[in-house]
Amino acid sequence: MITVRAPATSANLGSGFDVFGAALDRPADVVRVEKAHRTTIDVTGYGAEFIPEDPDRNTVGAVAEALDAPAHIRIDKGIRPSSGLGSSGASAAAAALALNELYDRGLSRRDLVPIAGKGEATVSGDVHLDNVAPALLGGFTVATDRDVTVVDADIPLVACLPEIAVSTRDARDVVPAGATMEQLIYTVGRAATLTTGMCRDDPRLVGKGMHDRLVTPARADLIAGYDGVREAALSAGATGVTVSGAGPGVLAACYPEDRQDIAAAMVDGFEDAGVDARAYQTEIGRGATLYPDE
Ligand SMILES: Nc1ncnc2c1ncn2[C@@H]1O[C@H](COP(=O)(O)OP(=O)(O)O)[C@@H](O)[C@H]1O
Ligand SMILES: N[C@@H](CCOP(=O)(O)O)C(=O)O
């Protein structure tokens, strides 16, 4: 049996829609695989009741098919589905790494990114690699149509998850179809600022670069209490706040000494809007971990 732990990820980081992603130190999914004649899936853990075990509808099914690697796949969810924390992508990334090892396919982690992306596409409607790339490779990732660049950044983060669900497929429908030149210039400036901050391990620049006037405002409307939570996090010291992935998770960048206060302020902010929430005090972390022959 092969076991893989794949981390939660936060995609977009405001200014990098469908391109930027970051591996979070926690939470994570754990996937175990054993060879079988046909693929079967068992799901347990956080939000398991909302996740199909049919291989055609679970992100790991498409991965097993792409690798021609039928298996009994057990998924222990540490990442709630429809969270904006890359829950569906984490399972797909973990399955890709585990099945590659189980069947000795010899593919690199980079080779596995588009294969895990096929799993993501089954639930979100189209391929976006900004969750599976950091889940496999770790760090801050820039995923383009050509390749993936990785920066092993050291940035403290808070990911706050409210008890509401937003499906990535639905949240992609509210993304504006086009942008003005002014919006384009603004976004490029912020994205470059964020990337510079990641390369310098500078939470101030990362936070500044998380601001976005295009995709995030449309999605914020789907998250009850978002504006209050954002203000509360900034008042508690966050250097930047944005929607995590497609939401409803909210991501804050910060200095380490402010992380605890920001986490409490974000949970209180959701509570003020009548929404229960939990906050993960985390940081940019490593990619999926393989535990062979357990
Ligand atoms: N292995 C899986 N883990 C999580 N969600 C899955 C999985 N397989 C299929 N899904 C479905 O994908 C959807 C959640 O994915 P998505 O909307 O992209 O949110 P998230 O941000 O949590 O990845 C839910 O409808 C869920 O049932
Ligand atoms: N770029 C995608 C990322 C979706 O992330 P998720 O964690 O919500 O699945 C998008 O913004 O649609």
Mutate to test the pocket of ligand 1, among 51, 88, 173 (most ligand atoms within 8 A of CB): 88
Q: Counting beta carbons within 10 angstroms of the beta carbon of residue 160, is it exposed (0 to 12), middle (13 to 18) or buried (19 or more)?
A: buried
Instruction: Name the closest-CA residue to atom 3, ligand 2.
Output: 245
Alpha-carbon span 2 to 97, nearest angstrom:
9
Closest ligand to 212 CA? 2
- Confirm or reject: Cβ of 10 under 6 Å from ligand 1: no
**Distance between Cα 231 and ligand 2 center (Å):** 23
Please say if 168 is a catalytic residue: yes
Torsion angle of alpha carbons 104, 106, 108, 113, nearest 10°? -60
Domains along the sequence of the chain with CATH: 2-150+285-291 (3.30.230.10), 152-283 (3.30.70.890)
How long a stretch of residues is the chain?
A: 294
Is the overall model pTM greater than 0.80, yes or no? yes
The CA-atom distances, in angstroms, between 214 and each of 197, 208, 210 are: 21, 15, 12
Can you give the pLDDT of all 294 residues of the chain as single tens digits?
999 999 999 999 999 999 999 999 999 999 999 999 999 999 999 999 999 999 999 999 999 999 999 999 999 999 999 999 999 999 999 999 999 999 999 999 999 999 999 999 998 888 899 999 999 999 999 999 889 999 999 999 999 999 998 888 889 999 999 999 999 999 999 999 999 999 999 999 999 999 999 999 999 999 999 999 999 999 999 999 999 999 999 999 999 999 999 999 999 999 999 999 999 999 999 999 999 775
Does the interface ipTM go beyond 0.85? yes
